[in-house]
Each structure stands twice: as structure tokens, then as C-alpha cells.
Amino acid sequence: LVSWRYFKESIVGLLTFRSFTEDREKFEQIVTFLGSVPLFKKQLPTSELPKVAQMLEEHTWKPDEKLVSQGDIGDTFFMIYE
């Protein structure tokens, strides 16, 4: 299970210019994935997807590892990518 975290507006400026040159192919796969997410497909121009991809952070969890608990205050937008 892999999820992507969308950073809050306050720190986006620091992350916008993160370099993905070390793994361009993976970056392009992420952009393609974002284009398949219904929320982004309907609400965001395709030209904006690379900008969103730059603001994401990948996390991998082990099977049965807890991601969130009921009652937790949400500050993360999760997208499952396999």
C-alpha cells in the first residue's frame, strides 16, 4: 500500500522546486496516475498535474499497519497507488 500526502499550503513553496531528475520515469508515472484520479481528472487541468506531483510525498506501509485511527484529526489526503 502506497499513499501520497498533499502538503499544506504553508510549506508548498519550499517543496515546489524539488528535483525529480533522479527518477524521471517514476515522476511521469505519478503524473499519469494523478490524471486517472477522478477528483483531479474533473477539477484540474492536465497541465497542473506535474505541479501537484512535485508536492507529494510517498509512504509505504506494511500489511496490517495502521494508517489512521477513528477520531484522528485529518490533515492528509491519501491516494492508493499500486
CA-nearest of 3, 75, 7, 12 to 33 is: 3
Residue 22 pLDDT: 56
What confidence tens digit (pLDDT) does each residue in 66-77 have?
888 899 998 888
Residue 63 pLDDT: 84
Residue 29 pLDDT: 87
Predicted TM-score of the model (pTM)? 0.62
Task: Write 19-23 long-range contacts (CB < 8 A, 24+).
Answer: 20/53, 20/54
* pLDDT value at 23 more than 60: yes
